[in-house]
């Protein structure tokens, strides 16, 4: 199953979840109506029953629906704050910009490497410090407001390979659209919980006042509301189990695909199965996020379990797994009790049989446009190692500045200034005018560090800086976006990198401040002009005019086989047109996006390779479509 099939499945599951929720709510409303009718209507004189039947049913239905609906609406609106808010509500602590803790540094490195390898902004990183179990989860509506949280037990007990596998598992949920479904599920099921809590509160209040005889009917109804409300919670758990179990298998498979080593994931799962703390959350209430966790954090029964059994998950990854290894591994748990906090924990297989070496791989050259489609949101070990090497090659001062809330904006400004040769003074004056002389001086001070870096480092550096930028006041972020848009036009020309960087930041900041925006369901015939413009832009950056015509025709035959469009040079104000086109194309349904990416890859790889400009535009288009493309693509010169 590729990225686009995952996206289509997530949308389908989302519709099913809403349908199952409505069915559960309907069952509860009907059950409460029966109790209300039995208490009020059947207790009246026969001649009054007909007159009371409809009003009583209407009132009972309206009140029940209102409680469930308002409860769900309240939770959905609360979750609009983004993934970080979900983690903070559970007691998560944001990982510092420059942590002194060895394990926190390791976590930040792993998450940032996975982000670079995946081609998405770095999510906020949190730790549940009071949780000794091994667990993690990702929360948010999109890559722009995503947050990853791990427990302290995960940091203290897992080796780097095991931690990387857990993070890769969570990135799979981020990339494949599972997060949005998870957050929506949290909001809907909360309404059922509120109904049960309402009935309980009414019962508790009636104990302290009023005549028991006079209040008997109301007590019966309150008891029914409480019982059926908590029955709704049980049904909600079953809905979670229905949508969660299979996705855990898929995320496990993706984690192995990302890292190309299965001992990392099996080691993490084995430690959960062997160690006493397991994956349980003890300090935080894991009920709401149970379906989002890496491992079972609550301990549900088999009927409502949100995760498959550990043995089964391990066997899916390694069919040769022997359950007796869990018993043997249990004996090693005491080795972590007084462990040196500045050293790497040993992996499960290393504890059992000695250290295992990781095998590197090289990125295979794409043999056909379809290989680009297959790479979307599916980084491999080669991409992760590329990200690790790239990040280790960045000057420490630049990395530190990208992590700092006060300096991250300077990094982005320096990236743009470093590409400016003829209008540097005008650009610096613009920054001082829009953002102040301190911001200008900070950016200038970083330019020298960028001079010897390859162009492939620029966009990953921006991805690393984005989480810190998003923590600035909203008024400042608005000024930053306006400054970036003005800055890239100072010299009267606009290259693809400048456009891509400004649009990436603008899109990410907007989505992080407005999570949970509705997604349209557009089809290709409705956006033909926008798709054709994007194809023309890509063809125009591939070389000669003759090649551009042929490349455009090849991509068009994939996208609109019966179309009579011909190649034409992009308009002079192409950034404005391209910006509008990318926004419109983001509304395509997943199968249509897959066709569009295939057409773009067909145009870009018309003669078997990619120019640097084609690769930048292709990755920009994929990012705008929320189809992140890993960074490793073989290049050719125009």
Question: Hey, which residues are catalytic here?
Answer: 170
Are 294 and 279 contacting, i.e. CB atoms less than 8 angstroms apart? Answer: yes
DSSP letter (8 states) at residue 522: B
Q: Which two tokens stand for residue 471?
A: 């923590």
For CA atoms 373, 374, 377, 382, give the dihedral sign.
Answer: negative
Helices 458-469, 496-513: inter-axial angle, 10-degree rounding: 30
Q: Which position has the token pair 């002194």?
A: 100
What's the distance, CA 629 to chain centroid? 15
- The Cβ of residue 279 has, within 10 Å, a number of other Cβ atoms equal to 28
R_g of the chain, CA atoms, integer Å: 28
- Exposure on the CB side of residue 570, measured as CA atoms within 13 A: 23
Q: CA-CA distance, 380 to 540, in Å (whole number)?
A: 31
Angle subtended at Cα 408 by Cα 407 and Cα 409, rounded to the nearest 5 degrees: 90
DSSP letter (8 states) at residue 292: G
Alpha helices per DSSP H over 376-495:
381-392, 396-403, 408-417, 424-435, 437-450, 458-469, 474-487
Q: Which position has the token pair 């930028």?
A: 469
Q: CA-CA distance, 35 to 470, in Å (whole number)?
A: 51
Hey, what's the torsion of the CAs at 479, 483, 484, 489, to 10 degrees?
Answer: 150
Burial of 527 (0-12, 13-18, 19+ CB in 10 A): buried
User: How many secondary structure helices (H) and strands (E) does the chain include?
Assistant: 26, 4
Helix (H, G, I), strand (E, B) or coil at 587: coil
- Exposure on the CB side of residue 312, measured as CA atoms within 13 A: 8
Which secondary structure element, helix H or strand E, spans residue 118, and what is its range?
A: helix 102-118
Q: Name the residue among 169, 156, 162, 168 with its Cα closest to residue 128.
A: 156
Q: How many residues are there in the chain?
A: 638
- Torsions phi, psi for 89 (to 5 deg): -65, -25
Angle subtended at Cα 62 by Cα 56 and Cα 63, rounded to the nearest 5 degrees: 90
């Amino acid at each position: 199953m590729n990225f686009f099939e995952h996206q289509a499945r997530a949308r389908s599951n989302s519709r099913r979840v809403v349908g199952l929720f409505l069915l559960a709510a309907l069952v509860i409303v009907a059950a409460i109506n029966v109790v209300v009718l039995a208490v009020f209507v059947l207790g009246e004189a026969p001649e009054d029953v007909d007159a009371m039947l409809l009003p009583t049913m209407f009132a009972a239905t309206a009140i029940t629906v209102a409680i469930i609906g308002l409860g769900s609406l309240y939770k959905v609106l609360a979750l609009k704050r983004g993934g970080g808010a979900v983690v903070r509500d559970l007691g998560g602590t944001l990982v510092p910009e420059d942590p002194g803790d060895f394990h926190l540094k390791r976590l930040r490195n792993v998450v940032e490497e996975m982000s670079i390898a995946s081609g998405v902004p770095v999510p906020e990183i949190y730790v549940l410090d009071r949780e000794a179990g091994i667990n993690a989860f990702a929360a948010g509506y999109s890559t722009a407001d995503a947050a990853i949280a791990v427990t302290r037990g995960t940091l203290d007990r897992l080796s780097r390979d095991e931690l990387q596998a857990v993070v890769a598992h969570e990135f799979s949920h981020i990339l494949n659209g599972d997060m949005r479904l998870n957050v929506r599920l949290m909001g809907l099921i909360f309404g059922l919980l509120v109904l049960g809590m309402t009935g309980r509160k009414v019962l508790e209040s009636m104990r302290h006042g009023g005549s028991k005889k006079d209040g008997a009917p109301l007590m019966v109804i309150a008891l029914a509301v409480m019982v059926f409300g908590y029955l709704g919670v049980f049904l909600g758990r079953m809905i979670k189990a229905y949508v969660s179990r299979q996705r855990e298998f898929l995320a496990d498979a993706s984690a192995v695909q990302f890292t190309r080593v299965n001992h990392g994931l099996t080691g993490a799962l084995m430690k959960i199965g062997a160690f006493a703390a397991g994956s349980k959350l003890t300090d935080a209430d894991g009920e709401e996020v149970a379906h989002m966790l890496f491992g079972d954090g609550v301990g549900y029964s088999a009927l409502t379990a949100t995760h498959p059994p550990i043995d089964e998950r391990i066997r899916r990854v390694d069919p040769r797994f022997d359950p007796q290894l869990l018993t043997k591994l249990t004996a090693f748990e005491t080795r972590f009790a007084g462990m040196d906090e500045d050293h790497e924990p040993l992996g499960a297989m290393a504890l059992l049989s000695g250290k295992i070496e990781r095998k590197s791989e090289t990125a295979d050259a794409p043999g056909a446009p379809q290989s680009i489609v297959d790479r979307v949101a599916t980084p491999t070990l080669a991409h992760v190692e590329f990200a690790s090497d790239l990040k280790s090659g960045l000057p420490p001062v630049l990395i530190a500045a990208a992590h700092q809330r006060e300096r991250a904006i300077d990094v982005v400004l320096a990236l743009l200034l470093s590409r400016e040769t003829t209008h540097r003074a005008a650009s610096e004056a613009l920054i001082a005018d829009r953002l102040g002389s301190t911001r200008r001086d900070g950016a200038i001070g970083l330019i020298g560090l960028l001079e010897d870096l390859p162009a492939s480092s620029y966009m990953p550096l921006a991805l690393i800086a984005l989480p810190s930028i998003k923590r600035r006041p909203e008024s400042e972020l608005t000024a930053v976006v306006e400054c970036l848009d003005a800055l890239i036009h100072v010299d009267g020309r606009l290259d693809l990198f400048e456009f891509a960087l400004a649009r990436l930041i603008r899109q990410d900041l907007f989505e992080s401040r407005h999570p949970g925006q509705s997604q349209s369901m557009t089809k290709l015939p409705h956006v033909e002009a926008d798709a054709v413009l994007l194809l023309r832009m890509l063809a125009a950056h591939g070389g000669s005019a003759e090649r551009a015509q042929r490349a455009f025709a090849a991509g068009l035959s994939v996208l609109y086989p019966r179309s009579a469009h011909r190649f034409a040079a992009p308009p002079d104000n192409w950034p404005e047109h391209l910006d509008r086109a990318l926004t419109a194309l983001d509304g395509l349904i997943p199968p249509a996006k897959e066709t569009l990416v295939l057409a773009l890859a067909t145009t870009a790889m018309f003669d078997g390779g990619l120019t640097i400009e084609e690769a930048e535009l292709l990755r920009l288009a994929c990012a705008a479509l929320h189809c992140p493309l890993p960074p490793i693509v073989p290049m050719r010169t125009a």
